[in-house]
């Protein structure tokens, strides 16, 4: 019996091989090359298709094409929000009240018109569902005086609101449809809302695409929305395929995917001379940083100014840029260069070996310090391991002994968030495209606490960060954020390293595939 | 007699399962961090209320022994819990990824049998000749080569430089899988009569299956050869030859039966390395199977998924062993008495 | 089995001297050495051992020095090219032998010690102890090695020590089974009974009579497992669960090269190193097995005797 099975298998293989030889390689390795299907390769960090619960890049990429927001950004832009569902808006004197006037021609994928009630429902749902993106609604409340007006009120002055509402988390859902399928925006939504399962299979948005299949492991497929209120979608079907950066490199060359989103600078040389591919590079807003724990209970050594200076002046920033790859830039402060309020290139920290060695001498005899980082995580093709190894080598040159202590991300996140790492190598992705997001690095704030940094040690910095949070006038904001970052650099608990280059590699005939610092890539601009 | 045999095996399987769950729980009890909080975004994780709510949602706020008994209770009802990472019931995750690995493993095994046994027989018939020596080196090579290295070379040569085979996935992106019969795309598309889909599924399957089969080819070649030699030297074979039967008839009729024993042995014992190979091959070929699932679950400390996968793999292993022992009993009655 | 009158496995009184079948017959070893594959295997292993021992003198550069241009293809200066942070790959491959070889030996030694002890006790004492121990063996046999290793590494952090421990935990059962079945069959001979009659305690009989007879096949199995140990260790490191950077471990080097596989040299040479070492161990083990007992393939493999 076994032999005949083997025989059948051999026969099948032979038949298949014969059939394959009759086909050209393109047939067996690629999808239709017609404009009907677009295949995008992405390394998935996908959790859910429910916009209110979604706050990760991959979910945002297809969410952007499925759900509309009040405002959005133009192709490749990250500075000026433009109208979308809201055709205009006004803001009051103190930046505590924003009034949005909605378009009257927006319809959902099932044909029902979009009204202010849907906006209010969606925003309240985000607020109460206690998901990863709920913090966006912190201190905000939303009301609808009539069908085409929405007012967002903020407890404190908040000039970041136009930027915040472009987030895919605040995508507007069809409230009737969602409510009919277990959705709620009530205060206890975190336990009573059950619409996620529904939303993972059927989209309830007004965007140019709707969800066909959703899978967090293999691929997610969206198809053109037949009832779309705007310009028709450029593609019949867009496939978002889960592939590691290595696989994306192979796939883009074999034509299996049309766009690769995660290729790193080190991988580009393989395809630079490929006539069928076009490489679009931008600067990613992700910042890589190093921190030395400021809590003396964690380490008496890293919490000293001498150690911080040793690290700050001991790092070879240009050498690190080599690891980060071509197109990457050293970041001068914690606010990335693509956003308003960033420091100028002239403000970057420069290596000073003598100062570093002097600082090390002050420390005297010390045990090696452990540097923790995630071992299985890479962004834009940069592996944390390579950066960490270079950091270790740099600091060794000035006399500091560092031992590397990587662990898988779940374990590493634990010690990072618990504030127990002596030194950590991590990154920060913007929550929204505004410098206010970067106040998290201040003492007593989210990331500051992870570096063991409490307000008592640097009260002036705390004061600066509080000022920056409420400043409304643009010039004033620019000044304060500049002071804040310079003061942060002085202390040096955080040593900002670099921003990697962000590349989108696409087939030459595909238009509009550009990197967006806000969305990663905006699918709705492709093909146009 | 057969009934008692199976019953006793099922009994040990049950005890084994509980043991495995216990070990998995103890293991993950040592784990710092948990999958629930690692799913939280940076802002959410800073909010203690959200963290507490998430942990309660996944039952992680209970003491470990409570979690263990709850798990056992659920297990008896056929519920393997929900994967914290994928948000799906572990059972459905296994149902989704299991067939993918099964397809890969079966394809690799079939290739190994055809090539390994085939050449093993050839080697035994030409014992100590040049062909035999060459085949011996080949078999040792197959067992010695690091599978992850072989996979990388294979992809480079056959997918990148020469676009003969696709580099990743089970189907071309956007292609709809055939209607579910077994979950194995090649088989299911044949059943559905969908020839182009079958070709696509097959072309995706060949390279990873070939790579995965390498160590098994090596083992099978070697064991078949030595077992064949042993049987060929036996009196009853020589007697058959003396009776005037042509050699190939002797080989087919008398010898193959005895030679099947090592094949079955190898298949039973090679399972563990097959699993390890599967994890590596699936990783490199982007094959969405149990190996990749296990790796991601372990990395993410996803307790229900880890326990579920471990249980699943262990049960498959026990079943394979059961079949192997049973086949032994059928083929060689002398062993049954042990 | 046939019983010709001049069967060397029979004592003059016709009782099979099972002992001789397994005891490493010294006069047979030179025959093994005459086999070409064994010689090749020995040469390979010896070369690598020498390389490992003399690494500081053989390697052209410091394996940790990031002094050179990154991703240089193989050239006169760097025969194996340079890696992601500009280190010389040849030096790293050479120093890698210092990581893989001793750890593989350690791994197998530990597995043998634990496994043989458990198996010997089970086989010798028998009864409830035997049944209980064998259930434990079954448990560990069924437990998927790689998942255990992944979980251990994920929780305790990747390190070669943890990887070795994880692999030992899942490797010892094989030796336990083999030892137990060997001990069981030995029990049936007269030698143990004779030794007890002469006044030896159980323990002494165990050591004097059992161990030497068990050593042979166990050593054969161990030598075959050395190659496997290298593969498992490098496999775990490839997944990021073993060696920690900047350690020049071959598996992790292949992993680093996978992302930039068109810079073929980064993954090619470390993988080649693994291949040759494992090949050497397997050539050697294979030849040993042939020389000591052509039938041991079957007796070792059948698990339920």
Mean pLDDT of C65-72: 87
Please judge whether C66 and A245 are an interchain contact, meaning their C-beta atoms are less than 8 angstroms apart: no
**Residue A235 near residue A222, CB atoms below 8 Å:** no
Please judge whether B313 and C147 are an interchain contact, meaning their C-beta atoms are less than 8 angstroms apart: yes
- pLDDT tier for residue C22 given thresholds of 50, 70 and 90: very low
Statement: residue C34 has pLDDT above 60: no
Place of tokens 């560990």: C140
Nearest in space to A109 (alpha carbons), one of A61, A47, A52, A171:
A171
Instruction: Identify the weakest region by mean pLDDT among A40-54, A72-86, A225-239, C17-31.
Output: C17-31
Cα-atom radius of gyration of chain B, to the nearest Å?
24
**Residue A340 near residue A358, CB atoms below 8 Å:** no
Phi, psi of B298 (to 5 degrees): -65, -45
**Angle, alpha carbons C205-C208-C212 (nearest 5°):** 130
- pTM recorded for the entire structure: 0.81
Partners of residue B301 in chain C, C-beta under 8 Å: 154-155
CB-based contact, B51 to chain A, within 8 Å: no
Q: Residue B22 CB: number of other CB atoms within 10 A?
A: 14
What span, in angstroms and rounded, lies between the C-alpha atoms of C254 and A477? 49
Q: Which residues are CB-neighbours of A118 under 8 A, at least 6 positions away?
A: A108, A172, A173, A174, A175
Nearest in space to A49 (alpha carbons), one of A73, A36, A65, A37:
A65
b (16+ CB within 10 A) / e for A149-174? ebbbbbeeebbbbbbbbbbbbbbbbb
Q: Which residues are CB-neighbours of C203 under 8 A, at least 6 positions away?
A: none
Statement: residue A31 has pLDDT above 70: no
Of all residues in chain A, the one with the smallest CA distance to C264 is A270
For residue C148, what pLDDT is reported? 77
Q: Residue A4 CB: number of other CB atoms within 10 A?
A: 8
Partners of residue A323 in chain C, C-beta under 8 Å: 84-85
What span, in angstroms and rounded, lies between the C-alpha atoms of A305 and A286? 27
Q: Which of C235, C267, C302 sits opposite B335 (nearest CB)?
A: C302
- pLDDT tier for residue A321 given thresholds of 50, 70 and 90: very high
Strand A382-383 relative to strand A259-260, pairing: unpaired
Neighbours of chain B (3+ CB pairs under 8 A): A, C
**Residue C68 near residue C86, CB atoms below 8 Å:** yes
Please judge whether B53 and A244 are an interchain contact, meaning their C-beta atoms are less than 8 angstroms apart: no
Partners of residue C2 in chain B, C-beta under 8 Å: 235
Q: Is A105 exposed, middle or buried (CB count within 10 Å of its CB: 0-12, 13-18, 19+)?
A: exposed
For residue C289, what pLDDT is reported? 76
Place of tokens 């690598």: C48
What span, in angstroms and rounded, lies between the C-alpha atoms of B27 and B10? 25
- pLDDT tier for residue C24 given thresholds of 50, 70 and 90: very low
B311/chain C closest Cα distance in angstroms:
8
For residue C5, what pLDDT is reported? 45
**Residue A457 near residue A488, CB atoms below 8 Å:** no
Query: For an interface test with A, which of C73, C243, C246 has the most A Cβ atoms less than 10 Å from its Cβ?
Result: C246
Q: Return the structure tokens found at A282.
A: 């931008």
Please judge whether C144 and B294 are an interchain contact, meaning their C-beta atoms are less than 8 angstroms apart: yes
Place of tokens 């883009």: A252
Of all residues in chain B, the one with the smallest CA distance to A37 is B174
Partners of residue B303 in chain A, C-beta under 8 Å: none
E strands within chain C? none
Tens of pLDDT along chain B (338 residues)? 667 777 777 777 777 778 877 877 777 666 666 667 777 777 888 888 888 887 877 777 777 788 888 888 888 888 888 888 787 889 989 998 999 999 999 999 999 988 988 888 888 888 778 888 889 899 999 999 999 999 999 988 887 777 788 878 888 887 888 888 888 999 999 888 889 999 999 999 999 999 999 999 988 888 888 777 777 777 666 676 677 767 677 666 666 665 677 677 777 777 767 888 899 999 888 899 998 898 888 877 788 888 888 888 888 887 887 787 777 767 665 544 44
What span, in angstroms and rounded, lies between the C-alpha atoms of A380 and A383? 8
Please judge whether C66 and A322 are an interchain contact, meaning their C-beta atoms are less than 8 angstroms apart: no
Alpha-carbon distances of A120 from A127, A177, A184, A186, rounded to whole Å: 11, 15, 12, 11
CB-based contact, C147 to chain A, within 8 Å: no
CB-based contact, C256 to chain A, within 8 Å: yes
For residue C204, what pLDDT is reported? 66
Nearest in space to C228 (alpha carbons), one of B215, A480, B129:
B215
For chain C, what is the mean pLDDT? 78
Partners of residue B83 in chain A, C-beta under 8 Å: none
A297/chain C closest Cα distance in angstroms:
23
Please judge whether A390 and C157 are an interchain contact, meaning their C-beta atoms are less than 8 angstroms apart: no
Q: Return the structure tokens found at B81.
A: 């819990």
For residue B251, what pLDDT is reported? 63
Q: Return the structure tokens found at C148.
A: 């255990």
pLDDT tens per residue, range C140-168 = 777 777 777 777 776 677 788 888 888 88
Q: Which helix (H) or strand (E) holds A412?
A: helix A409-417
What span, in angstroms and rounded, lies between the C-alpha atoms of A151 and A98? 6
Place of tokens 């090619």: C268
Partners of residue A23 in chain B, C-beta under 8 Å: 199
Q: Which residues are CB-neighbours of B249 under 8 A, at least 6 positions away?
A: none
**Residue B131 near residue B121, CB atoms below 8 Å:** no
Query: What ipTM was estimated for this complex?
Result: 0.83
Of all residues in chain B, the one with the smallest CA distance to C253 is B149
What span, in angstroms and rounded, lies between the C-alpha atoms of A227 and A177? 16
Neighbours of chain C (3+ CB pairs under 8 A): A, B
CB-based contact, A117 to chain C, within 8 Å: no
């Amino acid at each position: 019996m076994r032999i005949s099975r083997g025989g059948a298998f051999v026969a099948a293989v032979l038949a298949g091989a014969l059939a394959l030889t009759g086909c050209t390689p393109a047939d067996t390795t690629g999808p239709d090359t017609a404009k009907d299907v677009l295949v995008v390769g992405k390394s998935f960090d996908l959790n859910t298709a429910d916009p209110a619960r979604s706050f990760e890049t991959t979910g945002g990429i297809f969410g952007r094409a499925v759900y509309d927001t009040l405002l959005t950004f133009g192709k490749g832009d990250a500075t000026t929000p433009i109208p979308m569902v809201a055709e205009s808006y006004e803001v009051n004197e103190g930046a505590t009240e924003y009034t949005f006037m909605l378009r009257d021609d927006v319809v959902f994928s099932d044909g029902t018109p979009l009204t202010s009630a849907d906006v209010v429902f969606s925003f309240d749902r985000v607020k109460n569902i206690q998901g990863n993106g709920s913090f966006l609604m912190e201190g905000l409340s939303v009301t609808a005086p009539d069908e085409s007006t929405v007012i967002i009120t903020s407890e404190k002055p908040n000039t970041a609101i136009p930027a915040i509402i472009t987030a895919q988390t605040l995508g507007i859902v069809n409230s009737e449809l969602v409510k009919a399928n277990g959705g709620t925006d009530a205060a206890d939504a975190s336990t009573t809302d059950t619409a996620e399962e529904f939303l993972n299979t059927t989209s309830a948005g007004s965007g140019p695409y709707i969800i066909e299949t959703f899978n967090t492991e293999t691929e997610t497929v969206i198809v053109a929305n037949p009832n779309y209120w705007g310009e028709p979608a450029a593609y019949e079907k867009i496939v978002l395929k889960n592939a590691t950066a290595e696989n994306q490199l192979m796939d883009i060359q074999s034509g299996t995917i049309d766009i690769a989103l995660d290729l790193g600078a080190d991988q580009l040389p393989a395809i630079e001379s490929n006539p069928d591919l076009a490489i679009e590079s931008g600067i990613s807003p992700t910042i890589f940083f190093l921190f030395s724990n400021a809590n003396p209970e964690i380490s008496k050594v890293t919490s000293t100014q001498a150690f911080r200076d040793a690290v700050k002046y001991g790092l070879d920033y240009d050498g690190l840029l080599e690891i980060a790859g071509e197109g990457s830039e050293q970041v001068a402060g914690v606010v990335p260069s693509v956003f308003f309020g960033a420091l100028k290139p002239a403000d970057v920290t420069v290596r000073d070996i003598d100062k570093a060695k002097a600082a090390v001498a002050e420390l005297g005899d010390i045990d090696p310090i452990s540097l923790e980082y995630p071992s299985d995580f890479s962004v834009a093709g940069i592996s944390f391991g390579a950066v960490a190894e270079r950091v270790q080598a740099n600091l060794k040159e000035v006399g500091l002994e560092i031992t590397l202590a990587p662990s898988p991300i779940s374990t590493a996140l634990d010690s990072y968030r618990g504030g127990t790492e002596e030194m950590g190598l991590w990154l920060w992705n913007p929550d929204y495209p505004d410098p206010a997001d970067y106040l998290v690095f201040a003492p007593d704030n989210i990331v500051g606490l992870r570096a063991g940094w409490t307000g008592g040690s640097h009260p002036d910095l705390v004061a600066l960060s509080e000022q920056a949070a409420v400043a409304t006038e643009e010039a004033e904001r620019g000044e304060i954020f500049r002071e804040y970052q310079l003061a942060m650099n002085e202390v040096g608990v955080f040593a900002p390293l670099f921003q990697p280059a962000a590349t989108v590699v696409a087939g030459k005939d595909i238009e509009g595939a550009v990197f967006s610092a806000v969305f990663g890539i905006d699918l709705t601009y492709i093909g146009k | 007699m057969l009934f008692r045999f199976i019953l006793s095996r099922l009994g040990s399987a049950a005890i084994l399962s509980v043991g495995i769950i216990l070990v998995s729980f103890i293991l993950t009890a040592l784990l710092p961090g948990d999958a629930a909080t690692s799913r939280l975004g940076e802002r959410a994780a800073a909010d203690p209320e959200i963290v507490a709510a998430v942990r309660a949602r996944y039952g992680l706020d209970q003491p470990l022994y409570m979690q263990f008994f709850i798990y056992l209770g659920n297990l008896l009802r056929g519920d393997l819990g929900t994967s914290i990472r994928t948000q799906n019931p572990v059972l459905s995750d296994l149902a989704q990824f299991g067939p993918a690995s099964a397809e890969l493993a079966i394809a690799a095994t079939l290739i190994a049998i055809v090539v390994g046994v085939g050449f093993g027989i050839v080697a035994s018939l030409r014992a100590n000749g040049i062909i035999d020596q060459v085949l011996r080196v080949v078999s040792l090579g197959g067992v010695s080569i690091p599978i992850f290295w072989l996979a990388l070379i294979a992809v480079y040569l056959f997918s990148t430089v020469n676009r003969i085979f696709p580099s990743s996935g089970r189907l071309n992106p956007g292609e709809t899988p055939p209607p579910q019969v077994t979950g194995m795309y090649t088989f299911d598309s044949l059943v559905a009569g969908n020839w182009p889909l079958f070709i696509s599924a097959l072309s995706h399957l060949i390279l990873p299956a070939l790579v995965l089969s390498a160590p098994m080819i090596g083992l099978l070649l070697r064991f078949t050869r030595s077992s064949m030699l042993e049987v060929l030297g036996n009196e009853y074979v020589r007697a058959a030859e003396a009776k005037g039967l042509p050699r190939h008839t002797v080989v087919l009729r008398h010898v193959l039966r005895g030679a099947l024993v090592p094949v079955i042995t190898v298949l039973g014992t090679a399972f563990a390395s097959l699993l390890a190979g599967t994890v590596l091959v699936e990783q490199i070929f982007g094959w969405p199977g149990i190996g990749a699932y296990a790796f991601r679950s372990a990395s993410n400390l996803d307790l229900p998924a880890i326990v579920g996968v471990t249980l699943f793999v262990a049960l498959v292993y026990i079943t394979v062993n059961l079949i192997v022992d049973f086949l032994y009993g059928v083929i060689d009655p002398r062993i049954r008495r042990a | 089995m046939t019983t010709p009158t001049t069967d060397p496995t029979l004592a003059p009184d016709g009782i099979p001297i099972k002992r001789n079948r397994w005891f490493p017959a010294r006069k047979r070893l030179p025959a093994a050495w005459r086999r070409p594959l064994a010689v090749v295997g020995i040469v390979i292993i010896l070369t690598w051992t020498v390389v490992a021992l003399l690494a500081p003198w053989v390697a052209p550069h410091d394996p940790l020095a990031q002094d050179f241009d990154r991703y240089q293809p193989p050239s006169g200066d760097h025969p194996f090219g340079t890696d992601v942070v500009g280190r010389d790959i040849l030096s790293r491959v050479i120093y890698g032998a210092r990581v893989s070889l001793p750890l593989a030996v350690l791994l197998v030694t530990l597995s043998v010690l634990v496994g043989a002890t458990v198996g010997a006790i089970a086989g010798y004492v028998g009864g409830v102890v035997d049944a209980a121990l064998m259930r434990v063996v079954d448990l560990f046999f069924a437990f998927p090695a790689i998942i255990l290793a992944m979980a251990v590494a994920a929780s305790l952090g990747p390190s070669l020590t943890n990887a070795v421990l994880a692999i030992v935990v899942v490797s010892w059962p094989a030796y336990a089974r083999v030892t137990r079945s060997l001990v069981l069959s030995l029990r049936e001979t007269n030698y143990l009974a004779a030794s007890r009659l002469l006044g030896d305690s159980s323990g002494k009989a165990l050591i004097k009579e059992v161990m030497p007879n068990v050593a042979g096949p166990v050593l054969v199995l161990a030598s075959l497992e050395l190659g496997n140990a290298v593969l498992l260790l490098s496999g775990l490191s490839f997944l990021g669960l073993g060696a920690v950077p900047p350690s020049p471990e071959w598996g992790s080097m292949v992993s680093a090269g996978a992302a930039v596989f068109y810079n073929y040299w980064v993954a090619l040479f470390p993988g080649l190193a693994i291949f040759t070492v494992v090949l050497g161990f397997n050539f050697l083990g294979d030849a040993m097995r042939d020389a000591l007992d052509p039938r041991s393939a079957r007796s070792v493999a059948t698990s339920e005797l």
